[in-house]
Structure 1
Amino acid sequence: MIKAWLKQFDAAREINSRLKARQAVSRYRRTVAHYSALDEAPISDAWRARAQVLSRSPKGRDLRIFFVGTDEQQDKSGFLQALERLGDVRCFVREDGSWGQNDPAPYQQRRERNTLRLEQLFADNASEGWVPQLLIAQTWGCLIEPACFSRLRDRYGVFVVNIAMDDRHQYWGSKVAGMWDGTYPLIPHIDLTLTAAPEAVGWYRKEGGVALYFPEASDPEIFHPMPDLPKIHDVSFVGVRYGIRERIVNALRQAGVSVSAYGTGWEGGRIANENVPKLFAQSKIVLGVGTIGHCDDFFALKLRDFDAPMSGSCYLTHDNSDLHHLYDVGTEIATYTCVDDCVEKARSMLSDKVRINLIGEAARRRACRDHSWDRRLSDLLSSLETLSGIQG
């Protein structure tokens, strides 16, 4: 109650935000230091055998995939569609038919419900003769009991994969009853982690797990140029209003740059998921903010790092070093280092229509070639074959 009351005051909110930022960075640095002193564990023969079974499974409609999602809008903005092109997909839904694991129930009740529901769905599908070869989840120990995945693997022979998009700040999670509840506690119970933080690959392997770098991606059929529509937005931004996001948008507007901002807290309100592709396509510049939580200089990849370039519009975002391995920065996307640099870059590019168009066209080509969800899943299967020891 005291914490909520204090948040009513700007100064208290600012102090709270800075404390959270310092805690996130400090925990990350401790994690990096911890794993720098450890060696990677070798991949076991048992793991290779399980991976070979999956790699040799028929593809197309004969590959049965069970997907455990979390955010319906995000899951259905390209990833689920790519999964459905890869195989026969069934998904986790709660008893009332609603999507994913974000049950509004209290912590422990939600975890128990999700665990029981997942095991029940597997049993129901098996009774119909449908047993998946592959389970793909995007989950944490706070949402499903980790040992549940071992039980499913032992009972049904399913190969278990977890997607971890937030490892820089959610790898450990919180400690509840002496146990971590992030992605870390899942390691003994799953076969493979797909992490969007390249350095985290080593963390999992040093804990005896197997992991691959798996940045987000996009769908070229959903996010694409719309040349018949005018570019009516100078700059657009989609995301909750807080912290550095608000400072950047305010600074742009104070400099005379028109910004169409959507999401909780902005005057534009939340935008329907199906309207985001049109917004991006009709924007001269799509603005990205690459920071984690309340931090100003701690970055992670975002879904819009791929959806915006795929739309064929000019993308301007934080100079996150991860992006330099995914795009030709300056040619395919543009980046900024601070609020003032963002304002300067946006104003400069808005005065140069040719440059904006060239960046957007180059971004679309690169995204289609390297950053589609279909490409990610194809690369995943190829990597599994390599790791499992299957030759040619």
Structure 2
Amino acid sequence: MSKDPSLRIMFFGRYTEGSTGIVRSIFMGLHELGHTIYEINVTARPRLLFNPYRRQGGHGPIYIRWELVKEEIEIFKPDVIIFCAGGLTFEPEVIKRLKKRYTVVAFTLSDPDVFPTISQYASLFDYHTTNSVKALELYKQKGINNTILMPFAIDSRFFVPRSIDSKFKSDVSIIGHARENRINTVKRLIKEFDAKVYGRNWPFKSLGPVYGEEWFKAAYSSNILINFPKTGAGYTNVKVGVFEAIATGRLLFTEYFDEMKMFYEYDKEIIGYRNEEDLISKVRYYINHKEEAEIIAKAGQIRTASEHTWKKRLADFFDEVGIY
């Protein structure tokens, strides 16, 4: 492989969350590193996919039909092939052949929820990443030793200020889909404050899901953003929304839990809460103490720019595995 730090990367991705989703953000991070990328967007090319087990939500395997992309790969001559989330992979025999010529990598972004299915084939890749500390231990316990922790991050677009939009203006915003453990707390936030809710399946009025520029407008038009760290499968996890929210310079509230301390300092860069009453009390306090709120939010934004970008995460990953 060339020692040139600029890699030729074949990138397979699915953009279910649009231009502000994690997969697109990783793609942008690779660009910011200066790599040459050949992008295959399987959302736009559904014929490429073979999903024999009807998997969804990041579970796999969802196979990419080798015969439909073989020519593109051979013409491009990548250094690295990346399967970016969504359970994407090739058939095992294809991966074995490809590893003789290229470095084959898979990024998993929905752990630990998807561990039961991804762990069935994660060892096939040269390198595999997980977003979850808990899942990393689970892979090790299963004897899967090619897996590396790569926490979530953001690309540089999230730091670009947007003007406040009257449609989205609020003191408090919740950007996320409805889940049973969130509903009562969100009802209370709506009752107590000037709050707006975004996402699907809320049992009360919301502005619906927001993607792309609308996501940026919603975030930048609020003073406070609320994070609920439980995943759909009930795990407490550091989610990508944490980094996205803090990058905008809004004050983020999230529950206290140990893993978050790897990334931010509670009450100096983010605000922690222990239960609903604690959350309501602290939101009220920081609405009434805007200068303190701005100092904490700015500190979080500065740390995000320094430590939690995809440009840095990906550079660290390539250095750690020696791909350059």
Q: What TM-score, normalized to structure 2? A: 0.84
Mapped to 2, the partners of 1:220 and 1:99 lie a distance apart of 32
> Which residue is 1:198 aligned to?
133
Q: 1:84 aligns with which of 31, 38, 42?
A: 31
Q: % of aligned pairs identical?
A: 21
Query: Whose strand proportion is higher, 1 or 2?
Result: 2
Contact 1:224 1:312 (C-alpha < 8 Å) held by counterparts: no
Partner residue of 1:218 out of 143, 154, 175: 154
> Relative to structure 2, which stretch is displaced further, 302-311 or 182-191?
182-191
Q: Which amino acid aligns with 2:127?
A: L
Contact 1:107 1:142 in 2 (8 A): no
Matching residue of 1:40:
none
Matched, 1:189 2:124: yes
Q: Which residue of 2 aligns with 1:31?
A: none
Paired position in structure 2 for 1:352? 289
Residue 228 of structure 1: how far off its partner (Å): 7.3
| Kept after mapping to 2: 8 A contact 1:69/1:100 | no
| Higher alpha-carbon Rg | 1
Verify the 8 A CA contact 2:61 2:118 in the aligned structure 1.
no
Q: Aligned-pair distance for 1:326?
A: 0.4
Correspondence 1:69 to 2:16: no
Check the 8 A contact 2:155/2:310 in 1, yes or no: yes
Q: Does 1:270 align with 2:202?
A: no
Give the drift of 1:97: 3.1
Q: 1:307 to 1:146 in 2, by over 3 A?
A: farther
What letter corresponds to residue 242 of structure 2 in structure 1? D
Residue identity in the other structure for 2:68: Q
CA shift, 1:263, in A, is 1.1
Partner AA of 1:80 in structure 2: F
Q: Counterpart amino acid of 1:356?
A: A
Structure 1 residues without counterparts, runs of 5 or longer: 1-52, 173-181
Matched, 1:125 2:72: yes
**Cα gap change, 1:270/1:136 in structure 2, threshold over 3 Å: closer, same or farther?**
same
* Equivalent-residue separation in structure 2 for 1:303 and 1:90 (angstroms): 25
Query: Shift in Å at residue 91 of structure 1?
Result: 2.4
Q: Which position in structure 1 is the counterpart of 2:273?
A: 336
Bigger helix share: 1
In structure 1, distance between residues paired with 2:180 and 2:253: 18
Structure 2 residue identity aligned to 1:160: V
Corresponding position of 1:10 = none
- Distance in structure 1 (CA, Å) of the matches to 2:47 and 2:179: 27
Secondary structure of 2:112 counterpart? helix
Three-state SS of the structure 2 residue aligned to 1:84 is helix
Segments of structure 2 that go 5 or more residues without pairing to the other structure are none
How far apart are the structure 2 equivalents of 1:264 and 1:233? 19
Deviation at 1:106, TM superposition (A): 6.6
Say which SS state the counterpart of residue 92 (structure 1) adopts. Answer: strand
8 Å Cα contact 2:14-2:23 kept in structure 1: no
The amino acid that maps onto 1:346 is V
Match of 1:134 in 2: 80
CA–CA separation in structure 1 for the residues paired with 2:271 and 2:61: 44
In structure 1, the partner of 2:195 is 259
Deviation (angstroms), 1:218? 0.8
Mapped to 2, the partners of 1:94 and 1:382 lie a distance apart of 28
Q: Which residues in structure 2 correspond to 1:274-285 (within 5 Å)? A: 274-285=213-224
Aligned to 1:320: 257
Q: Match of 1:373?
A: 310
Residue 333 to residue 112, structure 1, CA distance change in 2 (3 Å): closer
2:246 maps to which residue?
A: 309
Q: State how 1:80-119 maps to structure 2 within 5 Å.
A: 80-86=27-33, 87-94=35-42, 97=45, 107=53, 115-119=63-67
Letter in 2 for 1:355: E
Q: Secondary structure at the match of 2:120?
A: helix
Q: Note the alpha carbon deviations across 1:154-210, whole angstroms, 9 max, x for none.
A: 3xx2212221223222211xxxxxxxxx21122331011211112433443451422
Find out whether 1:150 has 2:96 as its counterpart: yes
Aligned to 1:288: 227
Cα RMSD of the aligned pairs, angstroms, is 3.1
Question: What residue identity is the alignment partner of 1:188?
Answer: S
Residue in 1 that maps onto 2:110: 166
SS in 2 for 1:327: coil
CA offsets per residue over residues 214-256 of structure 1, 9 Å max, x none?
11001233344447778931111111122122222112123x2
Taking the aligned partners of 1:222 and 1:118, their CA distance within structure 2 comes to: 35
Aligned equivalents of 1:318, 1:375: Cα separation in 2: 26
